[in-house]
Amino acid sequence: MGLELSIIVIDLLFFILSGARIAMADGVYNVKDYGAAGDGQTDNTKAFETAWSAACAVQGKATIVIPEGAYLLGPTIFKGPCKGIMVMQVKGQLLASTHLEAYKQYWLHFQYTNGLVISGGGRFNGQGASAWPYNQCKKTNDCKPLPMNLVFSFVTNATIKSISSIDSKFFHIHVFESRNIIFDSIKISAPQDSPNTDGIHIADSTNIQVVNSVIGTGDDCISIGPGCTNLTIFNVLCGPGHGISVGSLGKNAGEKDVIGLNVSYCNLTGTTNGLRIKTLQSSPSRLKATDFLFEHIIMNNVYNPIIINQNYCPSANCPKKDPSLVKIKNIKYRNIMGTFLSPVAYNLVCSEAAPCEGVELSDISLKYNGNEKQAKNASICVHVYGSSNGNVKPDPCI
C-alpha cells in the first residue's frame, strides 16, 4: 500500500506540474499571481513590473491579465524588446499614485516593443485633481511638467482598444517615435478646466490612427506635434476641450515636417477651437506642414471653428519677433457644417516669411450662433493663398 500510495502521489505531482507547464505555454500571466492586490491601497508597482518581465521573456503571445479591482501604481516602465507579442487585458481600474515627488514625466510608460495589444474595457485613472493646482507652466517657463497617464515611445505594431483614461495629471496619452499604432474605441475624460490634459498627443511618429473614440478634456482632444507622417483621425467625438490641433510647430531647432493628415467624420461640440494649425514666431529652423484633409466634420457651438495661427503664443510673455518659418501648404477643408460662437468663422493668419499656399475651403455651411446680432469679419485672411469651391458660408476671403 505504501508503494502504491507513493506512485499515486508521484502521478498527481506530475499531473500538477504538467498543468503548470501547459498554463505557462499558453502565456497567461495574472498580476495577482505576482502579488498584486486590487484593494485600491496596496502599491502594486513591483508586481506589475515582475509580471511584465516574465511575460516579455516568452516566445509567441503572452497575455497579462489585470482582473477586476482597483490597482494602485506608482510610475511604471513596461520595457522591451520582448520575445513575442505582448497582450495586456485590463478588466480592472489602475489608479495612479498621488505622490508627485515619485514621478518624472510619465505614469505608465510602454517602450521598445514590437507587437502590443492593450484592451479589456478597463480604466486608467490618473487621479489628476490632486495635482492640477501645481500646474504653473502657463505662468512660468521654469516649471516641472506633471506626469502623463500613458506614454508609448519606440513602439511598433500596436493596437490600443476599448480602454478609458480619466483625469490624467497632464497629457492622457503621448505617442513618440512610434509607428503603426491604432487607437480604437478609446474613452478619454477630464474636467473642462483641468490644465494641459490633452487627450492624445502624437509626435515624431508615422501611421498612427485614432478611430471610433470619445474625448473630452481641458485641452486639445488630439494634438499633433512635429515629425508626424500619415496620421488618420476618423469618427472621433471631441468635447469639451480645445479641439483638434496641429502644433505648436517651430519652437525647437531640428523639428521635422508634418506630412499627411486625414481628419474625417468627426464631431466637435462646445470646444474652444475646431480645426487648428498653430506655429510660433521666430522659428529656429525651417519646416513644413503639408497635405492635410479635413472633411465631413460637424461642429456644434464651436467658438473658433477653422484656424491657422502662425503668431501663436502659448504664454502671456511672448514678444513679437521674426515671422514663423513654418511653411503651411495644401490644406483642404471640405464638407464642414454646424454652428460657431465667435465673430470669425475662418481665421487664417499666415506668416509673412512663408505664406500659406493651397488652402481650400469647399462646401462649408457654418451658422453663427453667438451673442452678437451677426458675425462681423467672419472671414480673416492674412498671407494666405488658395481657393473656395461650392457653397461656402459664411463668405470666404480666399
Read off the pLDDT of residues 329-341 as tens digits, 9 standing for 90 and up.
999 999 999 999 9
Q: How many domains does the chain have?
A: 1
- In a 10 Å sphere around its CB, with 0-12 CB exposed, 13-18 middle and 19+ buried, how is residue 49 labelled? middle
Q: Does the pLDDT of residue 196 top 60, yes or no? A: yes
How would residue 12 be classed by pLDDT, with cut points 50, 70 and 90? very low
* Cβ pair 365, 339 in contact under 8 A: no
242 a catalytic residue: yes
All three cell numbers of 55, joined, read: 511575460
Interacting residues of 362 by C-beta distance below 8 A, sequence separation 6+: 332, 333, 334, 335, 388, 389, 390, 392
Confidence of residue 212 (pLDDT cuts 50, 70, 90): very high
For residue 316, what pLDDT band results from cuts at 50, 70 and 90? low
pLDDT at 141: 64
**Segment 193-211 mean pLDDT:** 97
Higher local confidence (pLDDT), 17 or 30: 30
pLDDT digit string (tens) for 33-90?
Answer: 999 999 999 999 999 999 999 999 999 999 999 999 999 999 999 999 999 999 999 9
pLDDT digits (tens, 9 = 90+) for 79-126: 999 999 999 999 999 999 999 999 989 999 999 999 999 999 999 999
Which single residue is written with the C-alpha cell 517602450? 111
- pLDDT reported for residue 182: 98
Residue 290 has pLDDT above 80, yes or no: yes
pLDDT band at 142; cut points 50, 70, 90: low
220-239 confidence digits (pLDDT tens): 999 999 999 999 999 999 99
pLDDT reported for residue 2? 47
Report helix, strand or coil for 55. Answer: helix
Q: What is the pLDDT, as a whole number, of residue 365?
A: 97
What is the reported pLDDT for 313?
83
For residue 184, the domain's CATH number is: 2.160.20.10
Closest CA to 202 of 262, 258, 274: 258
What is the pLDDT of the chain when averaged over all its residues?
91
- The answer to whether residue 7 sits within a structural domain is no
The percent of residues above 70 in pLDDT, for the chain, comes to: 90
Q: Is residue 317 within 8 Å of residue 287, measured between CB atoms? A: no
Summarize the chain as % helix, strand, coil (round to 5): 15, 50, 35
- Per-residue pLDDT reduced to its tens digit, 246-283: 999 999 999 999 999 999 999 999 999 999 999 999 88
Q: Residue 18 — very low, low, confident or very high, per pLDDT cuts 50/70/90?
A: very low
Is residue 250 situated within a structural domain? yes
In a domain, 12, yes or no: no
Q: Determine the Cα–Cα distance for residues 75 and 96; give it in Å rounded to an integer.
A: 8
Comparing 26 with 319, which gets the higher pLDDT?
319
Range name among 11-15, 136-140, 338-342 with the lowest pLDDT average: 11-15
What pLDDT is recorded for position 23? 36
The confidence score (pLDDT) of residue 140 equals 67
3-class DSSP state of 252: coil
Q: Residue 228: which region, alpha, beta or left (left: phi > 0; alpha: psi -120 to 50)?
A: beta
Contacts of 49 (CB under 8 A, 6+ apart): 76, 77, 78
pLDDT of residue 93: 98
pLDDT tops 90 at residue 344 = yes
CA angle, 330 then 260 then 385, to 5°: 10
What is the pLDDT confidence band of residue 16, given thresholds at 50, 70 and 90? very low
119: its cell numbers? 484592451
Which of these is catalytic: 99, 242, 296, 383? 242
Q: What is the Cα–Cα distance from 34 to 102, expressed in whole angstroms?
A: 23
Do the Cβ atoms of 186 and 172 come closer than 8 Å? no
The pLDDT confidence band at residue 319, using thresholds 50, 70 and 90, is low
13 in a domain, yes or no? no
Cβ contact 50:83 at 8 Å: no
As a whole number of angstroms, the distance between CA 188 and CA 147 comes to: 16
Domain assignment of residue 284, yes or no: yes
Residue 377: predicted pLDDT: 72
Examine the pLDDT at 242 and tell me if it is beyond 80. Answer: yes
Distance between CA atoms of residues 126 and 94, nearest Å: 8
Residue 319 lies in a domain: yes
Structural domain including 218 reads 31-393
Residue 31 DSSP class: G
Q: What percent of the chain has pLDDT over 90?
A: 84
Question: Which pTM value belongs to this model?
Answer: 0.91
